[in-house]
Amino acid sequence: MTAVDSLAYHLRETFELPQPAIDWLLLLWSAIQTLDDFADGDKVERAELDALIWNTLVAMPCHPFFAAHPQALGGAVSTMVLKWQASDRAERDGFADARSFVWRAGFYDVVLVVLNLCYGPRVAQSKAHLVMHLYGERFEDYLKEFDHARAD
């Protein structure tokens, strides 16, 4: 099962989110993965670039789920971006640590906001720990990336 398949499964089965919320979150996931590949200097295929352009400029802002909650989702996404940029800056400056690792997981903050929008704070609170468990990267593996980079 790929990471996106696992994410889609949990959004549907574990959190029982409505399909429009799932679809919008998967558009966001795809966009941030491609943008992260660009930032890391990884090869991005033309089809991925075309999808990124369409999804960020058309599909996501015109999506009915986003249209119903632009302030909350816009705020959550802006916070996610700022946290990722802070993490990236710390990593590039040689200060990767537990804080920068946590900042990278801003997408899951957006999932929490979506869960709250769909079901309210009581359900969001009861499932918040499960959302955080979706983050698949281990801290030890994260630190190894930078130990390897420093050794090169």
Q: Supply the pLDDT for residue 47.
A: 96
Q: pLDDT tens digits for 88-147?
A: 999 989 999 999 999 999 999 999 999 999 999 999 999 999 999 998 888 888 888 876
Q: Supply the pLDDT for residue 59.
A: 97
Are 8 and 22 spatial neighbours (Cβ–Cβ below 8 Å)? Answer: yes
**DSSP label of 14:** I
Q: Supply the pLDDT for residue 147.
A: 65
Q: Supply the pLDDT for residue 141.
A: 85
How far apart CA 6 and CA 16 sit, in angstroms, is 14
Q: Is 22 helix (H, G, I), strand (E, B) or coil?
A: helix
Tell me which long-range contacts 65-71 makes (C-beta under 8 A, separation of at least 24). 65/18, 65/20, 65/21, 65/23, 65/24, 66/24, 69/117
Q: How large is the average pLDDT for residues 50-67?
A: 97
Q: Supply the pLDDT for residue 151.
A: 46
* Domain ranges for the chain: 3-151
Percent of the chain beyond pLDDT 90?
80
Q: How large is the average pLDDT for residues 49-74?
A: 97
Q: Supply the pLDDT for residue 49.
A: 96
Q: Supply the pLDDT for residue 54.
A: 97
Q: Supply the pLDDT for residue 40.
A: 84
pTM for the structure as a whole: 0.91
